[in-house]
Amino acid sequence: MKTISFQIDEKTLVETEKILSQKNTSRNKYISEAIRAYNSKQKREDLKQQLKNESKLVKEESLTVLKEFETIED
């Protein structure tokens, strides 16, 4: 485990502390789980964007091939 230091605004800290008292969990565990969840979300969004970009490339290539076939006479 690594130790990190960060700043958080007062409102977010108060809200977090309230949730922690209700969940009876440690601040460290809560923040670690939040970071893991956010990292997972970011990876999904990155993959979604990558698939969107690749789909666009395939679409453009498919249209090019289709146009070539349309020029071929039977």
Name which residue leads in pLDDT, 21 or 69.
21
Domain ranges of the chain: 28-74
Q: Rounded CA gap, 66 and 74, in Å? A: 15
With 0.85 as the threshold, say if the pTM is over it: no
Q: Which residues of 5-38 are buried (b: 16+ CB within 10 A; e: fewer)?
A: eeeeeeeeeeeeeeeeeeeeeeeeeeeeeeeeee
Tell me the pLDDT tens digit for each residue of 25-74. 999 999 999 999 999 999 999 999 999 998 888 888 888 888 888 888 65
Q: In the prediction, which pLDDT does 59 show?
A: 85
Does pLDDT of 17 surpass 70? yes
